[in-house]
Amino acid sequence: MSFKRADLDFANLDFSYRKVNANIRYYYRNGKWDGGTLTNEEYFPLHIAATCVHYGQAIFEGLKVYETKNGDVVAFRPVENQKRMVKSAEKLFMARVTEEIFLEALDRVVNANKEFVPPYGSGASLYIRPLLIGISPHIGVKPSEDYLFMILVTPVGPYFKGGFKPVKMLVVEDLDRAAPFGLGDVKAAGNYAAGLRGYFRAKENNFTDVIYLDAKERKYIDESGPANFIAIMKDGTYTTPQSSSVLPSITNMSLRTIAKDDFGWKTEQRSVAIDEITNFSEAGCCGTAAVITPVGEIRYRDKDYKLFDQGRTAGPKVTQLYERLVKIQLGEVEDTRGWLRKIEIK
């Protein structure tokens, strides 16, 4: 696709907000969505009593748009994000953003910011952040009647600038991000505030992030703050926690499919006890941002468990998974499952 790009060093961008041309906003009032408006305004008016501010009626999503090898501008599995946003909305008694509106908003906002879609080969992407907030004023605890759905986009650089290197994770037993019957399985904004304590605990102790255990028994692995956990067991099985307080990751779902159908590996989604750590040969954290961050070392109860190559290099299976998914995303390997949604650039 040949269109003019912004004068940016795409390969060296970091993961931070950068002003672009426009964001898009759809209002839900009197039980229906309006036609949506593109705007270059970065602020929005909000009532002082809006439910998003007082009572946390705020949910979001995260996905990426980028250019493939043949020059198409694509989004990776955006309908999965839309479906997850509906699940989040249902759990928080919010209005549902339909697939039609979600995809229309995506097409419009990407077109309005096409010069910020990083070129193929830069490793960068246009990060897409759909947001849904309750905007009706209420002083008592009750759901909003009106909603605002927005998508902001911003170009972000490649995640692994220093190479695909393993990180160290810290298992915490005195912090939780979500409860078994709470909101951990949806993308509620408050979950991320709840994860800040864990993040800073990890940083203070020179770890990349924490791994949370299940809040009830403190026995099973849940996930890390912003990513699912996967282990490659010593027998080669791809194992990932099944838990009601874990966000169903679209990356994890895709990697499981690749592991099972493309590589013929055994995969399982089940309760994974932290005591099984001695049976892990490799591990990783997976999510949109990094696809997979290899985990080389895990500290649990003051003991350091080193995985593949004593935690010095990424394991072969985690690397194989990472490379295959990235190649599918970039159109370097055929997308046989229709995971890439092309965005027509006008």
Ligand X SMILES: Cc1ncc(COP(=O)(O)O)c(C=O)c1O
Which residues have CB under 8 Å from 116's CB, separation 6+?
Answer: 5, 6, 8, 20, 21, 126, 153, 154, 155
Exactly one of 64, 114, 187, 317 is catalytic; which is it? 187
Shortest distance in whole angstroms from residue 318 CB to ligand X: 15
Stretch binding ligand X (CB under 6 A), from 42-50, 85-93, 139-147, 249-257: 249-257
Find the shortest distance in angstroms from Cβ 177 to ligand X. Answer: 7
Min CB(163)–ligand X separation in Å: 21
Q: Which of 23, 249, 293, 329 binds ligand X (CB under 6 A)?
A: 249
Beta strands 58-60; 125-134: pairing state: antiparallel
C-alpha 257/C-alpha 60 separation (Å) is 25
Q: What is the DSSP string of 228-249?
A: EEEEEETT--EEEE--TTS---
CB of residue 184 vs ligand X: minimum separation in angstroms? 8
Distance CA 232, CA 1 (A): 39
Rg for the chain (alpha carbons), in Å?
A: 20
250 binds ligand X per the rule CB under 6 A? yes
Is the CB of 24 or the CB of 85 nearer to ligand X?
A: 85
- 3-class secondary-structure state, position 134: strand
Residue with Cβ nearer ligand X (247 or 298): 247
Q: Which of 154, 239, 245, 288 binds ligand X (CB under 6 A)?
A: 288
Whether the Cβ atoms of residue 129 and residue 153 lie closer than 8 Å to each other: yes
Active site residue 187: yes
DSSP state of 137: B
Residue span 212-241 as binding mask against ligand X, x where in contact by CB under 6 A, dash where not: -----------x--xxx-------------
Of the two residues 199 and 280, which places its CB atom closer to ligand X in the complex?
Answer: 199
- Nearest residue (CB) to ligand X, 113 versus 228: 228
Distance CA 69, CA 278 (A): 41
Task: Identify which of 43, 33, 17, 36 has the alpha carbon closest to the alpha carbon of residue 111.
Answer: 36
**Min dist. Cβ of residue 15 to ligand X (A):** 13
Binding site for ligand X (CB under 6 A): 62, 223, 226-228, 247, 249-252, 287-288
Residues with active-site annotation: 187
